[in-house]
Chains A and B, each alone.
Chain A
């Protein structure tokens, strides 16, 4: 199963990013195989509708869960409709978030 973490940088050591639609990077981890893919957010400078667009990016990469700080209304609607679970994480690195996710210690959002 693939999980997406919003990040300020491209690596697993990067600080996690609170925003979803305007996160600089999406770090997508395959929990089963451990494979990590880092995707630069093409919509970061977008003028509008970035939330649904970022959601589309996750959907097309078959992501099943998102770990982020805050997710806006439209993005949330798209993610929920796509069956992607949303978890809240603030502060710390993506690595920390991943560890907490594996321990099932993150709070489900919404």
Chain B
């Protein structure tokens, strides 16, 4: 069972939901939490502890100056503008390279070989009993979030119960996170911003044919527009968390609602049951 937690808008409480859901589940069965928000991962702040890190690399081309006759076909082929063939050598712009391997295929002299370049890390830790935390971290200055997300997810591929915490937005990082999920929780807040971005995110999960439910966070009780939208689009509202200054304080200092207010565990267990129902898994 793979559950993705996503949202169009940032800061709606995605990580809060993922962290509390994972914490609650870990009390009963082993759970793996994957932080796919590799640009700004935060779950390790809620679950600190030592971990083992490995590098994430992508292959980029290198040019054998003896074999290369500067024919220029690699530069012509590359649609990303990553290769410029000069009069005496080949110039690579590694930050434009998408690692498609096309230059290597097109080179008639076999003068191109790839070598790995680091773009981030994946760290695996066991911060509390019953929980494995996998954190993808994009190196600062690297634009390529997607391969790091893929690497983080791969570390949990064989685990039976996995939660993915997505980065905000509706672009490639979110798609990569949602790929292969059995269901998705869309976390929103009761503001026009939250609703606008929920609409976009709902479009994506609909397009990907992933069953989805909604969590309304920091609700001030005026959620009618959100409820109407969910009803119209057949999205079940699975949980509503009221706005409470004290919750904000707990969250801000890296605390867990379900640990400090154990009465919330039942709500999160019910949320999990809802996820299983969405995914079509018998309870």
Residues of A within 8 A of B (CB): 46, 48-53, 55-56, 59-60, 74, 77-78, 81-83
Contacts and interface: CB of A to CB of B under 8 A. Distances in A.
B93 A81 contact: no
Given A48-B96, A49-B96, A78-B91, A55 B72 contact: no
Interface residues of B, number: 17
Contact of A59 (B78, B81, B85): B85
A81 B84 contact: yes
B193 to A, nearest CB: 29
24 contacts: A48-B80, A48-B81, A49-B79, A49-B96, A50-B81, A53-B84, A55-B84, A56-B72, A56-B75, A56-B84, A56-B85, A59-B85, A59-B86, A60-B72, A74-B93, A74-B96, A78-B84, A78-B86, A78-B91, A78-B93, A81-B86, A82-B84, A82-B87, A83-B87
Contacts of A46: 81
Nearest to A82: B86
A53 B81 contact: yes
Given A56-B75, A60-B72, A74-B93, A51 B87 contact: no
Closest CB pairs A-B (n = 7): A49-B81, A78-B84, A52-B81, A53-B81, A49-B80, A82-B86, A52-B84
Contact of A51 (B81, B85, B89, B91): B81
A52 B86 CA distance: 11
A74 B86 contact: no
Nearest to A54: B81
A48 B82 CA distance: 10
Contacts of A81: 84, 86, 89, 91
B74 to A, nearest CB: 11
Contacts of B81: 46, 48-53, 74
A52 B78 CA distance: 11
Contacts of B87: 59, 82-83
B244 to A, nearest CB: 45
Contacts of A53: 81, 84
B93 A52 contact: yes
Contacts of B78: 49
Contact of A52 (B76, B82, B89): B82
Given A49-B96, A74-B96, A59 B84 contact: yes
Contacts of A60: 72, 85
A2 to B, nearest CB: 13
A51 B91 CA distance: 13
Contacts of A82: 84, 86-87
Nearest to A49: B81
Nearest to A21: B81
A59 B80 CA distance: 18
Contact of A77 (B75, B82, B91): B91
Contacts of B85: 56, 59-60
B70 to A, nearest CB: 10
Contacts of A51: 81
A74 B78 CA distance: 15
Nearest to B78: A49
A60 B72 CA distance: 9
A48 B96 CA distance: 8
Nearest to B93: A74
